[in-house]
Amino acid sequence: ILNVEQSPQSLHVQEGDSTNFTCSFPSSNFYALHWYRWETAKSPEALFVMTLNGDEKKKGRISATLNTKEGYSYLYIKGSQPEDSATYLCASYTGTASKLTFGTGTRLQVTL
Amino acid sequence: ETGVTQTPRHLVMGMTNKKSLKCEQHLGHNAMYWYKQSAKKPLELMFVYSLEERVENNSVPSRFSPECPNSSHLFLHLHTLQPEDSALYLCASSQTPPGTSGRETQYFGPGTRLLVL
C-alpha cells in the first residue's frame, strides 16, 4: 500500500449500534497513525495518536487499535449516538513522506 | 472556537482577483500548516512553517503565496486562481515543528471554502 485508504466510504447506523471502520497505511518506515473526527462545518478534532504495534487507545465509547506490521488500524464506536455523526479521518506519518498523509475518511451517520 | 481560527469562512473570487486567507492560532504553537481539500480527495499538505520559516512547499503553484509574519498568524495570498483551485483550505498548528517523531498532534481551523469563478 502506498497511500492511506479508509473503508467504508460511508456508513449509516441506528442509534445504539456498534460500528467499526478500517484505515490501511504503508507499513514501511512507519512513525505514527493519527485519527481525527470531523463534524460538518467544524474543525477536525484529534482523537488518537498511535505509534506502537498492538497499541490500543480509548476515549469514552470510541477506541482504536493499531497493527504496524500489516499496516492497518481499526476505529470502534460502541453504542453509536447521533452526536457521533461525523467524518472520521486517519493519517499516517512515515519517515519516507515526513508529513501526515490522510485518507479520504469514513462518513458516519447515526439516526434515531 | 478559540484554538485555531480562519477568516473568511467562505470566499468567492474571479480568476483575476487577488485575495488573502487568514489563520490565527491561540495555542502558543511553533508550527503552522496550510492544507487543501478538493472534492472527494484527501487533505493535501501545501505549506509548512516552523518558527516563522517556511520548511516545506509541496510543489504548490506560485499563484498561492504563503506568509507567516509571526508564530501566531499565517496567511495564504491568492492571485489569478483557476476554477480547479476551488476547494476547502484548512490551516493547522502544532506545538513542535514537524519531522521529529510524527507524534505531534495538529490542531485544525474550520477552513475557508473557496469558489473560483
B44-101 pLDDT, tens per residue?
A: 999 999 888 888 777 899 999 999 999 999 999 999 999 999 999 999 999 987 776 8
Do the chains contact at A51 and B103, CB–CB below 8 Å? yes
Do the chains contact at A101 and B106, CB–CB below 8 Å? no
Q: How many Cβ contacts (< 8 angstroms) between chains A and B? A: 58
Q: Is B101 on the interface with A (CB under 8 A)?
A: yes
Q: What is the mean pLDDT of chain B?
A: 93
Contact criterion met (CB below 8 Å) for B48 and A98: no
Do the chains contact at B1 and A99, CB–CB below 8 Å? no
Q: Cα distance from A16 to chain B (closest Cα, Å)?
A: 29
* Predicted pLDDT of residue A97: 82
* Predicted pLDDT of residue B98: 73
Q: Is B103 on the interface with A (CB under 8 A)?
A: yes
A44-99 pLDDT, tens per residue?
A: 999 999 999 999 999 999 999 999 999 999 999 999 999 999 999 999 998 888 88
Pull the grid cell for residue A7. Answer: 473503508
Which residue type does A83 have? E
Q: With bands split at pLDDT 50, 70 and 90, how would you rate the model's confidence at A1?
A: low
Which residue type does B14 have? G
Pull the grid cell for residue B110. Answer: 474550520
Nearest by Cα to A31 from A49, A56, A4, A45: A49
* Predicted pLDDT of residue B58: 78
Do the chains contact at B4 and A43, CB–CB below 8 Å? yes
Q: What is the DSSP string of A28-82?
A: TTEEEEEEEEE-TTS--EEEEEE-STT-EEEETTEEEEEETTTTEEEEEESS--G
